[in-house]
Structure formats: structure tokens, C-alpha cells
Amino acid sequence: MSLKTKGFRLDRDKLLIVDDQPDIRKLLRLTLGNHYDLFEAEDAASAWEILRREQPRGVILDVMMPGEMDGYQLCVKIRSDPELGKTYVALVSARGQESDKQRGREVGADDYFVKPYGPLELLQIIKRRLA
């Protein structure tokens, strides 16, 4: 039997979804919500606040977002933080060139998904990575 607190189960990992498109956040929420406790942000600045406060095990991070920081820059910030450096980071982007994927590797992303990607595939990969 799981304990619940304010809608969150204490035995589940936390994930943060960072995307400026509400429809994509909704799709990921529907796909991942039965497996993880989810937090959402629409820009990197909000995401950083949630990351520091909640310290999720993983983050699904859109590359192109409004604001001063894009997904690549936030990934670098996560990797350089002693408390967050081991957080699983999946970058997602409409940019699918090899140079884009290479940059994802350079900033320390664990995975790089090109939109449109299969949310069920993403779920399976996250499950494996966090196991």
C-alpha cells in the first residue's frame, strides 16, 4: 500500500516536464502521470526554481523555449550543480540534425528525442534509465 501526500505518492520518482507548448505538456502528463509524480514548467527560469525545490530524478527538457535560457543552457546549469548534477535529462526538440544531437551530448543530456517522438517510447526509456 502506498502512502499519498497532497496527490503525490511517496514511493514514486518525481519528473519535471519543461515545454512552452501546453499540448505537449498535456500529452506527457497523460503518458507519464500514472508512473511518476509530475511537475511542469513553461520556461527555463521556472524550471530551475522547481528543480532546486523538488529535486526530481529526471527532467524532460525542450530545447527551444522563450526567455533568457534555452534547454541546452539549462542542461549545462543542471550538470554544474552539485545537488542536481546526477539528474536524468532528456532533451526534446524539433531540431533533428546530427549537429543538434551532438550539442545535446556536449551539454550532458542523457537522451535526445526529435519531435514528433513517441511518448510511450519516451516512457520506456525513462523507466530503464531510472531503474
Enumerate the H helices of the chain as residue ranges. 22-32, 44-54, 71-80, 98-107, 119-130
Q: Do 47 and 16 touch, CB atoms closer than 8 A?
A: yes
What does pTM read for this prediction? 0.89
Quick one: pLDDT at residue 104?
97
Quick one: pLDDT at residue 3?
34
Q: Do 48 and 94 touch, CB atoms closer than 8 A?
A: no
Give mean pLDDT in consecutive 10-residue pieces for the chain, a chain of 131 residues: 42 93 95 96 97 97 93 97 97 94 97 91 95 90
Q: Domains of the chain by range and CATH?
A: 12-130 (3.40.50.2300)
Quick one: pLDDT at residue 10?
56
**3 C-beta neighbours (distance < 10 Å), count:** 8
Quick one: pLDDT at residue 115?
87
**111 C-beta neighbours (distance < 10 Å), count:** 18
